[in-house]
Amino acid sequence: MQAIARPLARAAPRQVRAAAALSTWANVPAGPPDPILGVTEAFKADQDSRKINLGVGAYRDGNGKPYVLSSVKKAEEFLTANNPDKEYLPISGLPEFTKAAAKLAYGADSKPLNDSAVAVVQSISGTGALRIGGAFFHKFFPHSKAIYIPNPSWGNHTAVFRDSGLEVKQYRYFDKKTVGLDFQGLKEDLRSIPTNSLVLLHACAHNPTGVDPTPEQWKEISDIIKEKSLFPFFDMAYQGFASGDTTRDAFALRHFVSEGHQVALSQSFAKNMGLYGERVGAFSVTCADEGEKKRLESQLKIIVRPMYSNPPLHGARIASTILNSPELYTEWEDEVKGMANRIISMRDRLYDNLVSLKTPASVAQKAHIYMTADGRISMAGLNGHNVDYFSESVSKAVKGEL
């Protein structure tokens, strides 16, 4: 036994070395951390008690803690009491959910909705909806394989659309000098891009700038999009979060539909229901009639089936229970208002603090504060306990005193 064991023991390290040198993956380089979610990893590793994470856009309560909505808890209790099964959902998702999600976005009096002319599928939150949309446009949009997104835009848009096979181009959106909308630049760009192009619009709470067009500006944008026969694809990841009112935040989408545009829409329930990890969303397209809607839905299912077969069940059941119960719906609307108001009050307090600290009008980072490299901060990460420290740190950094 020993005579055999010794040579084998001596040989093992050589075999291990040889195996490592021949690994199929030896030439795979390490990728960079995600610019947004990588910030959370760095935040978790920091031991300083003053640390603040303003990187990922996830709501926190007044004590900086994750927040589960009371309407969500009640919906879950109701679901548990009804002893639900864990069967597969249809490829297009939970019908009660997709119907209610479309109604929330387009409005109960929406013509295409009432004509049964909106093709909808459940998606893996907003990102999944954008990805299904990207694949759908790549396969069926007859005019081009490009999408125009605002500059700047949510960091993941480029990757999502590029991986869907689309070429990603930009139109002007933000004016650094006025720290507001570059409305002239936006209009000029929309007028100069090729007729029939596909254009992504943030429906409300533009990420990362927080700057939205006014209703009057949306009307002008709608007119240009009509003149140029552009196709509007709305990304609505924050319905209710911008103003506290889901109807007000759906203004742009509903205005475009009432003006006769055909639209595509990505919806997320991550923020407005706090269902981040449940991955609840929907992708929809308005169609000419019910027959067209059925054809589109059949094609959307063909896109979904090889990607992930069918969507997750639990979050869709929660959202559906809330959206379809008058009491829970009212409670949820109040909670959305509460979250939006807390964010709005933090923005006001931060602004007042920076002004009273005589802070020059440019922003930097440091001092255990985690934010994305483009200077975007998630207002929801601020609360009554950390907003003063954050203001002072920003002020010092900008003045070169940190």
For binding to ligand IK2 (CB under 6 A), which residues are involved?
36, 56-57, 125-127, 154, 202, 207, 235, 237, 268, 270, 281
Give 193's DSSP letter.
S
Task: Please state, in angstroms and rounded to a whole number, the distance separating the CA atoms of residues 136 and 130.
Answer: 10
Q: Given 235, 249, 293, 332, which residue is catalytic? A: 235
Q: How far is the CB of 196 from ligand IK2 (least distance, A)?
A: 24
| Of 210 and 226, CB closest to ligand IK2 | 210
Q: Given 74, 154, 182, 212, which residue is catalytic? A: 154
Task: Please state, in angstroms and rounded to a whole number, the distance separating the CA atoms of residues 121 and 296.
Answer: 10
| Of 287 and 371, CB closest to ligand IK2 | 371
| Of 40 and 325, CB closest to ligand IK2 | 40
Cβ atoms of residues 162 and 131 within 8 Å: no
Residue found under tokens 């020059």: 360
Those residues whose C-beta lies under 8 Å from the C-beta of residue 30, and which sit 6 or more positions away, are none
Q: How far is the CB of 286 from ligand IK2 (least distance, A)?
A: 20
| Of 141 and 154, CB closest to ligand IK2 | 154
Q: How far is the CB of 239 from ligand IK2 (least distance, A)?
A: 11
Helix ranges (H only) for 203-325 are 215-227, 246-249, 251-258, 290-308, 314-324
| Of 57 and 311, CB closest to ligand IK2 | 57
Task: Please state, in angstroms and rounded to a whole number, the distance separating the CA atoms of residues 193 and 185.
Answer: 12
Cα dihedral sign for 222, 226, 230, 233? positive
Closest by CA to 34, choosing from 170, 161, 159, is 159
Give 92's DSSP letter.
T
Give 363's DSSP letter.
-
175 tagged catalytic:
no
Residue found under tokens 């407005």: 272
Q: How far is the CB of 276 from ligand IK2 (least distance, A)?
A: 6
Residue type for 148, please? Y
218 tagged catalytic:
no
Q: Given 74, 169, 271, 293, which residue is catalytic? A: 271
271 tagged catalytic:
yes
Active site residues: 154, 235, 271
